[in-house]
Amino acid sequence: MDVGRVLTGLLCLGLFTGWNPGRDNREEVSPDTTAKKFTNPVFEPILADPTVVRAGDGWFYAYGTQDDWGDGKGSRLVPVVRSRDLVHWTYTGQAFENRPAWKDRGGIWAPDVVRVNGRYHLYYACSVWADADPGIGVAVADTPEGPFRDSGKLFLSSDIGVPNSIDPFYFEDGGTRYLFWGSYSEAAHQGTYGVPLAADGLSVPDFSAKFKIAAGDFEAVVIHRRNGYYYFIGSKEGCCDGAESRYHLRVGRSRQLRGPYTDREGRLLTGRGAGDTILQGDAVYAGPGHCSRIITDDNGTDWLLYHAIDRKQPYVPSKANRRVLMLDKVTWEEGWPLVGEGVPSDRMQAAPVFRK
């Protein structure tokens, strides 16, 4: 059991009191500098399940799962950090002033933030650990910093017929907006699915239009379009067992957004056990996974943010997993990606290049 997520659930139920989540508690934002070299982690103590969006002024904003960082300020309702270069990150506050009310209990997990129709949409999961009926909602803000105003529930697992419906991911293709989601399950209808969204991105018109692209031994899908392929990047195994976490990233690809997705050996991702490993733990970091979208710098180099756990410091005082924010280069060989050298980097390396 992930004690950190259990505590998050209890906080959402109001069984603990602490830090006031209002925007007036934001920390002072200091100017970033452009890095030439860096070492991991790029932000700590925690930014789990990261997503990143770039604003029109060149700032990057990253968001993470609700967590208690163990600093006496309580549980942050989706922490927000920002950077000019993906290396120097400054905490700016939290995305929500108040917890969304459409589900009576649950933490706000695995946000995905994108710009839609000139505004910022934050898709999120609401769940407690081992939740029998988690769901996905969406919130909207005029600026990437927020605060985000909740637009309510998109669906519960029971509404759409997909067990463990968490980990939303937004994607546009051919003029249609889609939501992808899904997480670990061995139940009937398990897996990662996609479904078309309404034109405004704020509702799902037809639950029956869902389609499956991967089995239920994946979670936290990211889809990346490159050179005529759609790449499915997902996480497998346990995210939150401290130094024993075995989380890792695997990939498959397809010529069509809706699949079928296969790995290098031609195995369908809709079958359990498939996918090629592109990032896994080593002696220093455990459980690397749940990545952001791929970000391309001004030199054309691809980068990926993800979380991992330092084996020597696996927890914060609140007992939450200390999932630090990591950054590594993505390289491509014969049309297939690899993150770093296949394990989290812990040495000095050249930084991304952004001129704006």
What pLDDT is attached to residue 23? 36
C-alpha radius of gyration, the chain, whole number = 19
Largest CA distance in the chain: 53
What pLDDT is attached to residue 34? 61
What pLDDT is attached to residue 32? 45
What pLDDT is attached to residue 37? 96
**What is the rounded CA–CA span in Å between residue 208 and residue 159?**
10
- Write b or e for each residue in 326-346: b if 16 or more Cβ atoms lie within 10 A of its Cβ, otherwise e: bbbbbeeeeebbbbbeebbbb
What pLDDT is attached to residue 78? 98
**What do you get for the CA distance between the two ends of the chain, in Å?**
44
What pLDDT is attached to residue 57? 93
What pLDDT is attached to residue 263? 98
The residues near 4 (Cβ < 8 Å, ≥ 6 apart) are 67, 68, 240, 315, 316, 318, 319, 320, 321
Extract the residue ranges of the chain whose pLDDT is less than 50. Answer: 1-32
Does residue 48 contact residue 308 with C-beta atoms inside 8 Å? no
- Single-letter amino acid, residue 90: T
Query: Which run of H or of E encompasses 8?
Result: helix 3-12
Does residue 266 contact residue 307 with C-beta atoms inside 8 Å? no
What pLDDT is attached to residue 211? 98
